[in-house]
Amino acid sequence: MARAPLTPVQNWDAQLLLLAQDVRVAFFDVDGVLTDGGLLFSGEGEVLKRFNTLDGHGLKLLQKAGITPAVVTGRDSPALRLRLGNLGVTHARFGTEDKVPAAEAILGELGLQWHQAAAMGDDWPDLPVMRRSAFACAPANAHDEVLAVADWITPRSGGEGAVRQLCDLLLAARGAYAGLLAEYAS
């Protein structure tokens, strides 16, 4: 017996979809956004990070829908570069304290403007990129000052699926969510 077609259960606020409708690039911080913010060090001093697979799949879905995921982060690590490589994320800047020039360089590479950007951050260094972007988001556990400037605060925390929630919303704003879901459900 065949099941009925899958209907999306997500119900996004129309105002959020309107804010996100022109987004063509999404900037993400790493520590506290793509990870839970914790840093694990091996006995040899190597930094280990834990990434959420829901977030990773969300980044792949963005690419499939024509939205470029980009990373601008203050840290650099082999683990991060490996993870981004596995996900096909090619626009990234590492070890960047001043994130605006890094984000502007990526915008230039893509031929895009700030009004076509979303940004997700969790701490003060992320504020300048968030404030310039058309759609600023923060995970639930972000710093209070970051939460105050966010257009949307995800129900989930950094490293716990917050990035996926933003990806899903961006896909819906682009009109791609239901179609992508149907591809997987068939």
168 is in an annotated binding site: no
- CA-based nearest residue to 71, from 131, 30, 39: 30
Locate all alpha helices (DSSP H) within the chain, ordered by sequence.
14-20, 53-64, 78-87, 99-110, 127-132, 144-149, 162-174, 177-185
Query: Residue length, the chain?
Result: 186
The answer to whether 22 is annotated as binding is no
**29 known ligand binder:** yes
Spatial contact of 59 and 163, defined as CB atoms under 8 Å apart: yes
Classify burial at 40, counting beta carbons within 10 Å of its beta carbon; exposed 0-12, middle 13-18, buried 19 or more: exposed
Tokens of 79: 């683990």
Q: Are strands 68-72 and 47-48 parallel, antiparallel or unpaired?
A: unpaired
Residue 157 CB partners (closer than 8 Å, separation 6+): 36, 139, 140, 141
User: Residues annotated in the binding site for Mg(2+), as ranges?
Assistant: 29, 122
User: Residues annotated in the binding site, as ranges?
Assistant: 29, 31, 122
User: Residues annotated in the binding site for substrate, as ranges?
Assistant: 31
